[in-house]
Amino acid sequence: MGFQIETRQLAHAEPHEVAVLGPQPLTPSPSGEPESGSYRILGARKGLTISLFDMEINANTDTNMHTAPCVALNILFEATGTGWITEGDAQYGPIPFRPGFYCMIAPEGASGQDRLKSSSRFRGIDIRLSPPLWRALGGPQSVEALGSAHPYSTAVSPSVWTGILPMPPRLMTNAQALFQSGMSGTADLTVEARSLDIIDQAIRALAAQSAPTAILTRDKRAVQRVIALMDSDLSRSWTVPELAIAAGISHNRLKRSFRAETGYAVYGFLQERRLSEARKLLIEGDSTVTDAALIVGYDSMSHFTTLFRRRFGQTPSEMLRLSKPPLDTGKHA
């Protein structure tokens, strides 16, 4: 059905031109098949734009990205892909796209490439601030102020800093409230208030020096190791203690670090990964409902169906049926 794009000011905002500081919301994929979904670009005030997106990616895409000078705060609810920053002939990254809280500081603008996977969903929030507004709110004033040694850094070039910030439960709650209000077109005050909360959380996280860098880095790597282990065998009945041993930290510390880094409990994250993979298997049409459930670790079909419907709003059988093209009966008028 293509994009449904809306650009407007928040109802209470002073009149101003809504500037798209980040990438344009509709860029044709190399296959020529546009993504489908919704994109809302909301002008809160001069120098502050809030974009909300919920898109189905119909084909593997390699999209060139260019942004104006800005600070970008992205909360991804659903995402599968990879990004890179480019400067001249050099490439910095990769930046994994997955559910999380992302920050990019690009005082001179940025270029790069985004690679999104076919049959995936890209859903989240993009908050863009002009560099003067970011500095006025207390954000780090330069890439050098953070650098590649910062515990949250992911890809750092001479003029662009990117990182993945902690996602505590309160932040996830605020982000979901912002997304729902913005997509429904109601409660514009809630949209701006929650966006300011997210900005404040990012500034605090970047400035936090309460724990030694070595410990923060170790915890971050432990969480990434656990995610890689779970992704390598979704059908396995993973336990927190065995994952903690494999990651080299205590299970209590893993639980705290995992929720802070991803916004999910360990088992909640595993369930999200399993259901997303099952959905992909069904859409690609290579698996039956039973096959998909077993591949991702669900022996009980009723339990799998309940979780799947709760997550995607359809039963696995309904999604499988809708993903199939209509049969040609051979009858022609």
**pLDDT tens-digit series, residues 45-59:** 989 999 999 988 888
pLDDT at 31: 45
Alpha-carbon distance 275 to 270, whole Å?
Answer: 9
| Angle between helix 188-207 and 169-184 (nearest 10) | 150
Contacts of 219 (CB under 8 A, 6+ apart): 249, 253, 257, 261
Is pLDDT above 50 for 209? no
Alpha-carbon distance 140 to 146, whole Å?
Answer: 7
**pLDDT tens-digit series, residues 141-160:** 778 878 877 778 888 999 99
**pLDDT tens-digit series, residues 94-140:** 888 888 899 999 999 999 988 888 888 899 999 999 999 999 999 98
Long-range CB contact pairs, 262-270, < 8 A, 24+ = 262/99, 262/100, 262/167, 262/223, 262/227, 263/99, 263/100, 263/101, 263/167, 263/168, 263/169, 263/171, 263/172, 264/99, 266/226, 266/238, 266/240, 267/240, 269/99, 269/227, 269/230, 270/230, 270/234, 270/238
178 close to 188: Cβ distance less than 8 angstroms? no
Note the Cα 252 to chain centre separation in Å: 26
The mean pLDDT of the chain is 84
Rounded to two decimals, the pTM is 0.63
Contacts of 162 (CB under 8 A, 6+ apart): 85, 95, 102, 103, 104, 105, 153, 154, 155, 156
Which helix (H) or strand (E) is 94 found in, with range? strand 90-97
Is pLDDT above 80 for 181? yes
- Whether the bond between 15 and the residue before it is cis, its omega within 30 degrees of 0, is no
Contacts of 73 (CB under 8 A, 6+ apart): 101, 102, 103, 126, 127, 128, 129, 198, 199, 202
Q: What is the mean pLDDT of residues 185-209?
A: 87
Please, what sign has the CA dihedral across residues 12, 16, 17, 18? negative
Alpha-carbon distance 148 to 131, whole Å?
Answer: 20
Q: What is the mean pLDDT of residues 253-264?
A: 84
pLDDT at 134: 95
Report H helices in 186-315: 188-207, 213-232, 240-247, 251-262, 266-284, 289-295, 301-312
Is pLDDT above 60 for 211? no
Is pLDDT above 90 for 314? no
Is pLDDT above 90 for 168? no
Model confidence at 195, in pLDDT bands (50, 70, 90)? very high
C-beta atoms surrounding 187 within 10 Å: 16
Is pLDDT above 90 for 26? no
**pLDDT tens-digit series, residues 56-84:** 888 887 888 888 899 999 999 998 888 99
Is pLDDT above 80 for 293? yes
Tokens of 88: 């001249």
Tokens of 164: 């993945």
Rounded alpha-carbon distances, angstroms, from residue 66 to 56, 90, 227, 260, 324: 22, 15, 30, 30, 36
For the chain, give the percent of residues with pLDDT over 70: 87
Report H helices in the chain: 131-136, 169-184, 188-207, 213-232, 240-247, 251-262, 266-284, 289-295, 301-312, 316-323
CA atoms within 13 A on the CB side of 267: 6
Domains, the chain: 3-207 (2.60.120.10), 213-323 (1.10.10.60)
**Ranges 3-12, 154-163, 323-332, most confident:** 154-163
Alpha-carbon distance 124 to 78, whole Å?
Answer: 7
